[in-house]
Amino acid sequence: MKKIIVLGVIALISVGLYSFNSIDSQGEGEKYPTLQIGSEAPLQSYFMNTSSGDSYSLNTLAKSNGLLLVFSCNTCPFVVAWEDRYPELAKLTEQSEVGFALINSNEAKRDGEDSMSEMVKHAKEKGYANILYLVDKDSQLANAMGAKTTPHVFLFNNNMELVYEGAIDDNHKDAKKVKEAYLNDAIANLVNGQEINPNKTKAIGCSIKRVKQ
């Protein structure tokens, strides 16, 4: 009997961890379906404020070869593990003539750890000097794109069509142990006019904290 109880507790813990780490296809996933490869970016004229005091839309962010958006935040453990690669992405996108911005859509935490003041603080602490960090008011862009996690990557070509969606790479814990640099490869292939394969991977992270309606 004790063995059955212990196994049950382990199962519940496993389910809880899975719920924290990723979003399944039910509930929120159905309410906000993720943008499909080849689809045009929504809300291209929607302006968002940055942690540095400016404002941008997708149209003004995009460069000659396209646009990279990474849905991010201040405290998610997956973001904390992955964000040391953000400066590298900033350099790569600049060299590749691809626009780049981080999007904070955690509207339900806007009065707390994902407030603008906390974003400003986080950007300074993490060296976002050359990285735009924008507030997505009421999670409008996240809802329109069906962004699920922090981080969640969306790469668009120069026609603002989605060409890659998902994870940054295959190892958030250790950049030195990455075997598949999905996003870097996708950017290189985009610029060189080559096929992006895979063009879709599983986005893993904390759920975007939307205001429940």
What gap in Å lies between CA 194 and CA 124, rounded to an integer? 36
Kindly report the average pLDDT of the chain as a whole number. Answer: 88
Total-model pTM: 0.86
Q: Are 35 and 165 in contact (CB under 8 A)?
A: yes
Q: Are 117 and 30 in contact (CB under 8 A)?
A: no
Q: Looking at residues 105-120, what average pLDDT do you find?
A: 96
Give the domains, in start order, of the chain with CATH numbers: 2-207 (3.40.30.10)
SS3 137: helix
Non-local (6+) Cβ contacts of 55 within 8 A are: 47, 48, 49
Parallel, antiparallel, or unpaired for β 132-135 and 99-104? parallel
Cα angle 28, 31, 34 (rounded to 5 degrees) comes to: 85
Q: Looking at residues 167-196, what average pLDDT do you find?
A: 96
The alpha carbons of the chain give a radius of gyration, in whole angstroms, of 17
In this predicted model, what pLDDT tens digit does every residue of 149-176 receive, in sequence order? 999 999 999 999 999 999 999 999 999 9
For residue 5, what pLDDT is reported? 42
In this predicted model, what pLDDT tens digit does every residue of 4-18 receive, in sequence order? 443 443 343 333 433
In this predicted model, what pLDDT tens digit does every residue of 70-104 receive, in sequence order? 999 999 999 999 999 999 999 999 999 999 999 99
Non-local (6+) Cβ contacts of 15 within 8 A are: none
Neighbours of 170 (CB within 10 A): 14
For residue 212, what pLDDT is reported? 87
Q: Is the pLDDT of residue 131 over 60?
A: yes
Q: Is the pLDDT of residue 41 over 60?
A: yes
For residue 107, what pLDDT is reported? 97
Q: Are 63 and 101 in contact (CB under 8 A)?
A: no
Q: Is the pLDDT of residue 183 over 50?
A: yes
What gap in Å lies between CA 154 and CA 64, rounded to an integer? 17
For residue 9, what pLDDT is reported? 38
